[in-house]
Structure 1
Amino acid sequence: MVRMIVRDESFLSKKSTFANKDDAQVIQDLKDTLSANSDRCVGMAANMIGVLKRVIIFDGGDGAVVMVNPVITRRIGKYETDEGCLSLAGTRKTVRYKEIEVRYLDENFKPCKGRYTEFTAQIIQHECDHLEGKII
């Protein structure tokens, strides 16, 4: 189901809790909502659709990837950039890393690990910040 985008900063600043198999509908809602906003958005976290669970989705160019309970385990190549967000007006300065490694569960709750670079790494970092309640 396509969900409304949350713009309430007090809600967005809350830390998300771990997701489990009971949260499968959140994954589908994120897929549907990202697809509906694909002309202006490349990634989302569950709090952006009103759910405080640790689930993100992004499209790095090869289709949508879901990460459940992602943890960034390695960061290389620090840089500063400006980012926008579908949930917030304008852009904000933030620090990102050119390369990251992430441990997560896929949409079938299978453990995965991946290495991501450049723009895809930036998207994942942005969405993981959402899970921590950081306003970007």
Structure 2
Amino acid sequence: MIKPICKDPQVLSQPSQPANLQDWPIAQDLLDTLVAHQKECVGLAANMIGINKQIIAISLGPINIAMLNPQITAKEYPYQTQEGCLSLIGQRTTRRYQEITLVYLDQTGHQQKLSLHGWAAQIVQHEIDHCHGIII
């Protein structure tokens, strides 16, 4: 189900709680909302739809993927960049890493490991920041 985007800084600045498989409907709502905003958005975190859970959804070109409890386990090659956010007005400067490795739970509850670089890595870092209550 497509959900409204939360723009309340107090909600967005709260660290999210771990998710479990019973929270998968939230992940599906994120995927649906991501598709609805595909022209202006490449990633969402659950707190962006008002739910305090560690769940993100990202667009990797033609594929959209949801992740429960994503955690970055390695990062290399820092750089400064400008980012915008569907929950905020304008762009802000932030520090990102060109290459990351992360672990997360998929929709079956299995832990997955993924290495990303470039734009995909930047998207995931932005959404994981949301899970930690970090607003760019």
Q: TM-score, normalised by structure 1?
A: 0.98
CA contact (8 A) 2:2 2:33 kept: yes
Q: Aligned pairs, how many?
A: 136
Whether 2:13 is the aligned partner of 1:13: answer yes
SS across alignment from 2:89: strand
Q: How does 1:40-79 map to 2 (within 5 A)?
A: 40-79=40-79
Q: TM-score, normalised by structure 2?
A: 0.98
SS across alignment from 1:30: helix
Shift of 1:35: 0.6
SS across alignment from 2:2: coil
The residue that corresponds to 2:129 in the other structure is 129
Give the distance between the partners of 1:85 and 1:61, measured in 2 at CA. 18
Give, as a single letter, the amino acid of the residue that structure 2 aligns with 1:43.
G
SS across alignment from 1:130: helix
Listed as ranges, the gaps of 5+ residues in structure 1 are none
Shift of 1:15: 0.3
Give, as a single letter, the amino acid of the residue that structure 2 aligns with 1:32.
D
The residue that corresponds to 2:96 in the other structure is 96
Listed as ranges, the gaps of 5+ residues in structure 2 are none
Alignment RMSD, CA only? 0.7
Using the TM superposition, name which of 102-111 and 8-17 deviates more.
Answer: 102-111
Give, as a single letter, the amino acid of the residue that structure 2 aligns with 1:60.
L
Give the distance between the partners of 2:7 and 2:108, measured in 1 at CA. 29
SS across alignment from 1:98: strand
Shift of 1:21: 1.4
Give, as a single letter, the amino acid of the residue that structure 2 aligns with 1:23.
D
SS across alignment from 1:27: helix
Using the TM superposition, name which of 71-80 and 53-62 deviates more.
Answer: 53-62
Whether 2:29 is the aligned partner of 1:29: answer yes
Give the distance between the partners of 2:45 and 2:61, measured in 1 at CA. 18
The residue that corresponds to 1:85 in the other structure is 85
Give the distance between the partners of 1:53 and 1:74, measured in 2 at CA. 22
Runs of 4 or more consecutive aligned structure 1 residues displaced over 4 Å after TM superposition = none
Give the distance between the partners of 2:16 and 2:74, measured in 1 at CA. 21
